[in-house]
């Protein structure tokens, strides 16, 4: 309804975002991580890691410098605080179950305890859970402090740490609280992947397959041809894949940081995948295994709509299967298709009663669309 009572209107234009988020420097290394240079800074830093990463052999020389000063608790998150020189370190429990507001606030609280200013830094050393919550904490700390990442999982290196989506889970919904807040710098050491549990490695690789399917046929063919090397985590092969995926994602987020248009493509497999991840219970399945299953359902929906050929559908399904992903219409971890559909409706990316999905006409031929409930249910049986 028109409001006719306005006497005057004034429009205020703003410069985009916080100055610390203007650009991200991505640095790739093919050596073991020597992170001491991060300590040599005129600014204070709060490092954030989890209990598993804190004990990684490759990172012991770095974390070993810190001395424990307290065990603390914020809501449901128990955490330990360490210090070295003027810097602090927060160690929270590992896993998606701790991707919570309480964990975010434990980082904020440590920032306050160390008297960080907005010019100082929050530095995540970890996987996607840590990069997401640390950057979110930085975004709300005194209305915006700097952040930087040392991603330690394949998933974080190829996807989560790049492009400024931050946040945490709430009330059983994934990533419903958050902000766009890119990191100032990323320090990427692919060697860290060698210690990842198999499940986590395979989880991260799903996002790499997604990126190849969306943007590079050559990379997709490279993945198929080098399956054994990938599964054996051959460093050279992984380095190639990581740098390719990081560059592909960087190109997209540079054009569309806040997901108004082409960034939506990166959600291939995610609307189905997030619904499964939530319904199976957060933390039961890895993010990547849900995304891989979601990709299989998206190409099935593409086939049902006559968008892609049977040959393309079979090729994608066989590739996913060859890397060990579940592709059956009814996922063994959660079999109620109607509940999956209901959760897909709740996904924050939907704008109408139809369901927003990313579909494909073929390799790199991507379609952002909304589709009917019938097609979704058909893709789930």
Apex CA 283: angle with CA 279 and CA 285, to 5°?
70
Regarding 192 and contact with ligand NAD (CB under 6 A), the answer is yes
Out of 41, 80, 175, 354, point to the residue binding ligand NAD (CB under 6 A). 175
Task: Choose which of 45, 87, 165, 279 interacts with ligand NAD (CB under 6 A).
Answer: 165
Q: Does 269 bind ligand NAD (CB under 6 A)?
A: no
- Which of 96, 120, 216, 289 contacts ligand NAD by CB under 6 A? 96
Cα–Cα distance between 74 and 81 in angstroms, integer?
Answer: 12
Task: Determine if 120 is a binding residue for ligand NAD (CB under 6 A).
Answer: no
99 interacts with ligand NAD by CB under 6 A: yes
Distances in Å between the alpha carbon of 353 and those of 117, 284, 380? 45, 29, 18
Give the SS3 label for residue 273: helix
Judged by CB under 6 A, does residue 287 bind ligand NAD? yes
Q: What is the largest CA-CA distance in the chain?
A: 70
CA angle 293, 164, 94 (to 5 degrees): 60
Find all residues with CB under 8 Å of 151, minimum gap 6, and list them: 124, 126, 127, 128, 131, 157, 160, 161, 186, 188, 192
152 within 8 A of 140, measured Cβ to Cβ: no
Q: How far is the CB of 211 from ligand NAD (least distance, A)?
A: 11
Q: Does 184 help bind ligand NAD (rule: CB under 6 A)?
A: no
Q: Shortest CA distance to 212 belongs to which of 266, 255, 253? A: 266
Q: Per-residue string for binding with ligand NAD, 37-56, x by CB under 6 A? A: -------------x-xx--x
Footprint (CB under 6 A) of ligand NAD, residues 134-163: 152-153, 155-156, 159-160, 163
Q: Interface residues for ligand NAD in 317-356 (CB under 6 A)?
A: none
305 binds ligand NAD (CB under 6 A): no
Distance CA 282, CA 173 (A): 8
Binder of ligand NAD out of 28, 109, 173, 195 (CB under 6 A): 195
- Residues in contact with ligand NAD by CB under 6 A are 50, 52-53, 56, 94-96, 99, 126-130, 132, 152-153, 155-156, 159-160, 163, 165, 174-175, 192, 195-196, 200, 203-204, 287
């Amino acid at each position: 309804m028109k409001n006719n009572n306005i006497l005057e209107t004034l429009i205020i234009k703003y410069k985009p975002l916080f100055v610390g988020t203007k650009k991200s420097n991505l640095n790739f290394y093919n050596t073991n991580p020597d992170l001491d240079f991060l300590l040599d800074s005129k600014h204070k830093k709060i490092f954030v890691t989890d209990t598993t990463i804190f004990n990684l052999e490759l990172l012991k020389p770095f974390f070993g410098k810190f001395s424990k000063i307290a065990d603390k608790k914020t809501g449901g998150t128990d955490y330990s605080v360490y210090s070295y020189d003027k810097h602090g370190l927060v160690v929270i429990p590992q896993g998606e179950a701790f991707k919570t507001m309480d964990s975010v606030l434990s980082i904020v609280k440590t920032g306050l305890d160390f008297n960080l200013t907005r010019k100082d830094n929050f530095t995540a050393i970890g996987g996607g859970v840590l990069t997401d919550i640390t950057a979110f904490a930085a975004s709300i700390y005194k209305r915006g402090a700097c952040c930087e990442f040392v991603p330690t999982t394949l998933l974080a290196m190829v996807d989560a740490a790049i492009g400024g989506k931050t946040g945490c889970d709430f009330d059983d919904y994934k990533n419903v609280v958050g902000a766009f807040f890119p990191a100032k710098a990323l320090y990427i050491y692919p060697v860290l992947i060698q210690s990842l549990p198999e499940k986590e490695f395979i989880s991260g690789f799903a996002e790499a397959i997604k990126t190849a399917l969306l943007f590079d046929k050559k990379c997709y063919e490279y993945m198929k041809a080098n399956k054994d090397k990938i599964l054996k985590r051959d460093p050279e092969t992984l380095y190639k894949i990581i740098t390719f995926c990081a560059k592909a994602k960087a190109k997209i987020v540079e054009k569309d940081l806040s997901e108004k248009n082409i960034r939506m493509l990166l959600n291939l497999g995610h609307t189905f995948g997030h619904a499964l991840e939530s319904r199976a219970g957060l933390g039961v399945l890895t993010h990547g295994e849900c995304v891989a299953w979601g990709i299989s359902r998206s190409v099935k929906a593409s086939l049902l709509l006559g968008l892609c050929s049977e040959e393309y559908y079979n090729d994608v399904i066989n590739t996913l299967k060859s890397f060990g992903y579940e592709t059956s219409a009814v996922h063994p971890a959660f079999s109620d298709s109607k509940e999956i559909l209901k959760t897909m409706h709740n996904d924050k990316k939907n704008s109408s009663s139809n369901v927003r999905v990313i579909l494909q006409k073929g390799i790199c031929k991507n379609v952002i669309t909304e589709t009917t409930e019938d097609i979704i249910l058909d893709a789930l049986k």
